[in-house]
Structure 1
Amino acid sequence: MRFPARRELLISLALGATTLGLGALAGCGGKAGDAAETSLKRVEATKTLRIGLEGTYPPFNFQDKDGQLAGFEVDFAKALAAQMKVKAEFHPSPFAGLLGALESRRIDVVINQITITPERAAKYDFSRPYTVSGIQIIVRKGQAGIATPADLAGRKVGVGLGTNYETWLRTNVPTAVVRTYDDDPTKYQDLKAGRIDAVLNDRLVAADFVKTSPDFVASGPPFASQGMGVAMLRDPAMKVTIDEAIDALRANGQLAAISMKWFGQDVTK
């Protein structure tokens, strides 16, 4: 499926980025701007970029058979840090806690398929999108009748807690029975057992998942085009530095090469 051009997304991001008014971050003390201004300085001083991610979200980030973090976003994060001439330091956490870890400054950025929405862009800075995707419905193999967003009405639908999929579902299909989960395996166990009727996930995650999970299929075309960016606290200098690093990775072909490695296609534009 061909998604709309990124121009509208970038315009929305730019508008959101102008909305200042974070106020004081809980537990930080002082002004939010004071905390944000130290972000890039801390990274440069320690030569370390602390990166928050789930570590349980293949093919973007997960533990391989040797227990090491692997995936598209792990490779991207390492390349990004190298371009910035710092070391990538990973801090795995459940998705629902990632932005909280960012606000408390335990990490510097979140690289975990964070969808750029106007609501999030009003609170955080985002890099340029490094992947462009959409929402995919996943159902049990042989299950009929759920292939479009309208088919989700009145159905029990599994989504990740705090994800864009939860927000989209509650906003666009108010009659759906929303079931939230802290991890992917549990919601697929419930789907297989018939305790829920469908799962919403990233179309790229779904395409990879169903290849090795014969009990499930991706149903219908993806919808709700979405761009994902590196999330960070308000810090103009940090945003410029990360955007320039992404631009360099795009220009020298590394970003496309990482995408081809994991998806067999360029999903970064």
Structure 2
Amino acid sequence: MVRPLMLLALGALATATVACAPADNTASTAAPNAAASTACTKDQLELVTPGKLTIGTDKPAYEPWFKGDDPSNGQGFESAVAYAVAGEMGFDRDEVQWSTVKFDTAFAPGEKKFDFDVNQVSITPQRAGAVDFSKGYYTVKQAVVAVKGSEASGATTLDDLQNVKLGVQVGTTAFSAVQRVVRPSSLPKVYNEQIDAVNALKNGQIDALVVDLPTAFYVTAAQVENSAIVGQFNAPGGKPEEFGLVMEKGSALKSCVDKAVDTLKSKGELAKIEQQWLGEAAGAPELK
């Protein structure tokens, strides 16, 4: 994620989404049995700490990406992904250790104190010049945000948005997604800056705002009081924004991490984790 505003006031996320997450899903998010792993042999891996897989992320660790500000509990989307990858690489839960790494430090040039970092980091050419990325483990979806109780807030399908006055920021994936996927009966209101679109929702100038899902979590938690995510949807076409696991440039682990991500995708495990932590439980149902 490029995070244009996400880091300014995200502290509200911890309280805003905690009630939405399942109370106890430790069993369902535990790493797969290491013995069943078909990924690289862990004894042959070059690790920061021999015998341990060190995973970095920021602190606080916000929901729904993590739960309870505790990456080690296996709950929340990115904690669950991290342990799933670790399991495919042959590591048991007690062989994983977490390291606190600031968001922008993770993809800055230089030596790393982690084997890989997981922190909603979007894969971009500029960042890839300084670090290695795994294959994408999450493709960013678009989301619709509306004020609770409004007509738009009751939408359950894309068709329900046909006559809704939508707002988007110019030049964003949300803008093209509204045109190609939602196709409302009237053109969306277009704003030069995201904050202008947010203010338009606050002031009732638009009925709903379309942004990427990570931004939607921030908007509802910290920017627009009494707002909610109506739902999320795929925006096919073009080059999608993806989150990748971050590694030191030239990391010997990259092929093994890539293999683990590919295996989880092919088995449908990543899709299950996404549905559990970024779907209904997080207040972001699918709009179709």
Q: TM-score scaled by structure 2? A: 0.50
Residues 200-239 of structure 1: matches in 2 within 5 Å?
Answer: 202-203=212-213, 206=216, 215-218=226-229, 225-235=240-250, 237-239=252-254
Residues 78-157 of structure 1: matches in 2 within 5 Å?
Answer: 78-86=83-91, 87-100=95-108, 103-134=110-141, 147-150=167-170
Displacement of 1:45 in angstroms is: 2.7
The reply to whether residue 261 of structure 1 matches residue 276 of structure 2 is yes
Counterpart contact for 1:54–1:112, Cα < 8 Å: no
Alignment equivalent of 1:244, drawn from 259, 262, 270: 259
Q: Distance in 2 between matches of 1:92 and 1:192?
A: 36
Alignment equivalent of 1:61, drawn from 56, 62, 66: 66
Counterpart contact for 1:130–1:227, Cα < 8 Å: yes
Q: Distance in 2 between matches of 1:174 and 1:104?
A: 40
Residues 165-180 of structure 1: matches in 2 within 5 Å?
Answer: 176=193
Match of 2:46 in 1: 41
> Partner amino acid for 1:231?
V
Change (3 A) 1:139 1:99: farther
> Partner amino acid for 1:132?
T
Counterpart contact for 1:109–1:232, Cα < 8 Å: yes
Q: Distance in 2 between matches of 1:73 and 1:150?
A: 29
Change (3 A) 1:248 1:221: closer
Show structure 2 runs of 5+ residues with no match. 1-44, 153-163, 173-189, 281-285
Aligned to 1:89, the other structure's residue is in SS state strand
Cα-to-partner distance string for 1:182-220 (whole Å, 9 max, x where unaligned): xxxxxx9x99999xxx99974156369859x97124589
Aligned pair count reads 193
Counterpart contact for 2:168–2:209, Cα < 8 Å: no
Match of 2:183 in 1: none
Q: Distance in 2 between matches of 1:149 and 1:238?
A: 38
Q: CA-atom RMSD, angstroms?
A: 4.7
Aligned to 1:62, the other structure's residue is in SS state coil
Bigger shift: residues 79-88 or 109-118: 79-88
Change (3 A) 1:174 1:234: farther
Displacement of 1:89 in angstroms is: 1.7
Q: Distance in 2 between matches of 1:217 and 1:250?
A: 30
Show structure 1 runs of 5+ residues with no match. 1-39, 153-172, 180-187
Change (3 A) 1:210 1:178: closer
Q: Identity of aligned pairs, percent?
A: 24
Match of 1:14 in 2: none
Match of 1:18 in 2: none
Match of 1:11 in 2: none
Counterpart contact for 1:135–1:225, Cα < 8 Å: no
Q: TM-score scaled by structure 1? A: 0.53
Change (3 A) 1:54 1:130: farther
> Partner amino acid for 1:150?
V
Q: List, as ranges, runs of 4+ consecutive aligned residues in structure 1 with deviation greater than 6 Å.
A: 142-146, 190-194, 198-201, 219-224
Counterpart contact for 1:52–1:93, Cα < 8 Å: yes
Aligned to 2:140, the other structure's residue is in SS state strand
Displacement of 1:105 in angstroms is: 1.7
Q: Distance in 1 between matches of 2:138 and 2:124?
A: 14
User: Greater share of helix residues, 1 or 2?
Assistant: 1
User: Greater share of strand residues, 1 or 2?
Assistant: 1
